[in-house]
Structure 1
Amino acid sequence: MTNSYKPISCHFYDKLEELAVKKQKVKIIYLDNELTLETEDLIVDFKTKNKEEFAILSNGLIIRLDKIVEII
């Protein structure tokens, strides 16, 4: 169903956390199945489930961290 999780770098995780703490709206480009999608929103939380890490956005969207291509 989904590809196995590939842990992200600590540096990238720190950047995501910093954006969340600053409550800074960001454009996130990410992969969903074979599609490249983008959304613009606030990161409000992070969660880990089955050793996979996710960002939770204020609109309720949950994105697996290793599927994030770029943060603008």
Structure 2
Amino acid sequence: MDQPYIPIDCERHDELLALATLRRPCTLDVERPDGTFEKLAGVIEDVYADTGAEYLRLRGGPTVRLDWICALDGRRFHGQVARPA
């Protein structure tokens, strides 16, 4: 069963939308539900909601649930724990 979605801070959401709009490359530190960590880099192609959770899709890359993001460009997401990938 999936973990319940925990909405991210509105300021962080706006930051992700701005990066997508400007097509600026970024790096994400992500903690997957299985406890693994990943560092992803790329351009955010889309930020969207689906089935009660919010996601972003990197151009040519993976889709990430927003509450899995620990850090954006090396800065901790508010309310999220940043751990090394």
For 2:18 and 2:2, the matched residues in 1 are separated by 28
Q: Deviations over 1:20-53 (max 9, x none)?
A: 1111110111011201101110001022111100
For 1:44 and 1:34, the matched residues in 2 are separated by 25
What are the ranges of 5 or more consecutive residues in structure 2 without an aligned counterpart? 74-85
For 1:13 and 1:49, the matched residues in 2 are separated by 15
> RMSD of aligned C-alpha atoms?
1.0
What are the ranges of 5 or more consecutive residues in structure 1 without an aligned counterpart? none
2:67 counterpart letter in structure 1: D
Match for residue 13 of structure 2? 13
Structure with bigger strand share is 1
Give the total of aligned pairs.
72
Match for residue 25 of structure 1? 25
Match for residue 48 of structure 1? 49
TM-score by length of 1: 0.92
Match for residue 67 of structure 1? 68
1:10 counterpart letter in structure 2: C
For 2:39 and 2:2, the matched residues in 1 are separated by 19
TM-score by length of 2: 0.79
Identity of aligned residues (%): 25
